Amino acid sequence: MSRCLTQLQNGNFYVDFSLRDLGDEGVREIAKVLLDPNTTIRERRLQGNNIQFGGARSIARMLDVNMMINELRLRGNVIGPEGAMALSKALERNSSIESLDLSENNLGDEGAMAIASVLEVNKTIKTLHLDSNKIGNQGATAMATALQCGPGILQKLWISDNKIGPEGAMAIAEALKRRDSTLEELSLCENNIGQRGAMEMAKVLETNCTLCRLWLQSNNLRGNGVAMLAKALEVNSVLKLLHIPHNSIGNKGAKALAKALERNETLQSLNVSRNRIRDAGVTAIAKTLERNRTLQTLCLQGNHIGDAGLMTFVKVLENNETLQCLNLEGNSSIGDFGAGDLGALAIAGALETNRTLTHLNLDRCRISSSLMNRIKHLIEENCRKRRRIS
C-alpha cells in the first residue's frame, strides 16, 4: 500500500491498484492523495478490492475536486446501489471521466437508475460498463431514457449478464432510433431479450447510422429472431460486427444470415458459434462468401458441422480474397462417419492457392495430426506473406 501511495505522490500517470484487497480504508487513503486538483494521474484502476459504500463515497469526494482522471475502473467490488448514488452525484459535476467501469458491483435497478441520471447531464462519459449487476427492465429503461434525453455523448454501452428482458431491450432500441444517437457499441449479451427484443433491434439496424458493433450472445433469439436481424442487415450500411453465439438459431437463422450477406457490404465480423447449425446452414453461408467481399472473420465453433459443411469452404478459399479468420473449433462431426480426413484434405488443397486466410481453427475436430500440421504450416505461410506485404 505504501509503495502505491509513493507512486501516486511521485506523479505516475498510471498506477494499477487492481486486486490488492484495499477495502474502504485503503481507498480512502488513495483518495486523499488524489484530492490534489493538480495530480497527473489519468487512470484509476481499482478492480476487485472489496470496495463498499464507504470507499465509493471517498472516491466521489475526490471526483468532486479532481478533474484530471479520465478513466475509473471499479469492476468486481460491492459498492451497491448506495455507492452508485454517491458516485452519481459527483459524476454529474465531474468534467474529466470519459470511461467508467462499474461491472460486478451488485447495483441492481436502483444503482442503474442513479448512473442513468448521470448520463442525462454529464458531457464527458463516452464508455460505460455495467455488466453483471442484476439490472432488470426498470434499470434498462432508465438507461434508455438517459440516452434519449441526455447530451448524446455516450459511444459504448456494455450491459451484459443482467436480467434485461424484451421490455428493457425495446426501451434501449427506441433510444437508439434518436436521430443524433452517438452510440457505436452495444453489448446486451446473456440477458433474455428474446424474439421481441430481436425485432426491436432489427428496427434499429434499419435506421441507425452510428451503431457499428452489436453483441447479443445468449439471448434466446432463435431462428425467427435472427431472421429479423438478418433482414435488417440487407439494408444496413453501418454495422461491422455482429456476435450472436448461443441463441439456438439453427439452419433457419444461418440461411437468413446467408441471404443478408449477399446484399450487405459492411459487416466484417460474424460470430454464430454454438447455435445448432448443421451442414445445410453452413453451406448457405459458405456459398454466399464465394461472392461476399467484406466479411473478414467468421466464427462457427461448437456447432454440428460435418465434412459436407467443411467441403463447402473449399470454393470460398479458392475465390474469396477477404476472409482472414475462420473458426470451426469443436465441430466434432468433421472427420466423423468414416469420412476420415476427406474434408480437411480438400481444405489443405485450397490453402495451397489461398493467400488471405491467416487464422483457421479446426481444433477438437476429428482430423489426423499430420494433416493438422500441414494446414497450420499453410496458414503460417499466409501470415508471413501478409506481414511482408504490410
The answer, yes or no, to whether residue 8 has pLDDT greater than 60, is: no
- Grade residue 337 by pLDDT with cuts at 50, 70 and 90: low
| Confidence at residue 390, expressed as pLDDT on a 0 to 100 scale | 55
The answer, yes or no, to whether residue 173 has pLDDT greater than 80, is: yes
- Grade residue 172 by pLDDT with cuts at 50, 70 and 90: very high
Taking a C-beta distance cutoff of 8 angstroms, is the pair 62, 35 a contact?
yes
List, for residues 281-291, the tens digit of each pLDDT value.
999 999 999 99
- Cα–Cα nearest to 83, from 65, 66, 100: 100
| Confidence at residue 302, expressed as pLDDT on a 0 to 100 scale | 97
Taking a C-beta distance cutoff of 8 angstroms, is the pair 196, 170 a contact?
yes
214 lies in a domain?
A: yes
| Confidence at residue 342, expressed as pLDDT on a 0 to 100 scale | 85
Task: Look at the chain and count its residues.
Answer: 390
Cα–Cα distance list, 176 to 112, 157, 234 (Å): 18, 12, 19
| Residue range 217-235: mean pLDDT, rounded | 98
271 lies in a domain?
A: yes
Grid cell, residue 88, equals 452519481
| Confidence at residue 380, expressed as pLDDT on a 0 to 100 scale | 93
77 lies in a domain?
A: yes
Q: Can you tell me the distance from the alpha carbon of 113 to that of 352, in angstroms, rounded to the nearest whole number?
A: 56
The answer, yes or no, to whether residue 249 has pLDDT greater than 90, is: yes
Q: Which one is predicted more confidently, 337 or 140? A: 140
321 lies in a domain?
A: no
pTM for this model (two decimals): 0.93
Q: What is the 3-state secondary structure (H, E, C) of the chain?
A: CHHHHHHHHCCCCEEECCCCCCHHHHHHHHHHHHCCCCCCCCEEECCCCCCCHHHHHHHHHHHHHCCCCCEEECCCCCCHHHHHHHHHHHHCCCCCCCEEECCCCCCHHHHHHHHHHHHCCCCCCCEEECCCCCCCHHHHHHHHHHHHHCCCCCCEEECCCCCCCHHHHHHHHHHHCCCCCCCCEEECCCCCCHHHHHHHHHHHHHHCCCCCEEECCCCCCHHHHHHHHHHHHCCCCCCCEEECCCCCCHHHHHHHHHHHHHHCCCCCEEECCCCCCCHHHHHHHHHHHCCCCCCCEEECCCCCCCHHHHHCHHHHHHHCCCCCEEECCCCCCCCCCCCCCHHHHHHHHHHCCCCCCCEEECCCCCCCHHHHHHHHHHHHHHHHHHHHHC
Instruction: Collect all residues with Cβ–Cβ distance below 8 Å to 369 and sequence separation of at least 6.
Output: none
| Residue range 198-214: mean pLDDT, rounded | 96
Longest dimension (CA), the chain: 71
> Which one-letter amino acid corresponds to residue 229?
L
| Confidence at residue 118, expressed as pLDDT on a 0 to 100 scale | 96
254 lies in a domain?
A: yes
| Residue range 234-248: mean pLDDT, rounded | 98
326 lies in a domain?
A: no
CATH of the domain at 8: 3.80.10.10
Range of the domain at 146: 2-295
| Residue range 226-247: mean pLDDT, rounded | 98
Considering its fold, how many domains does the chain have in total? Answer: 1
358 lies in a domain?
A: no
276 lies in a domain?
A: yes
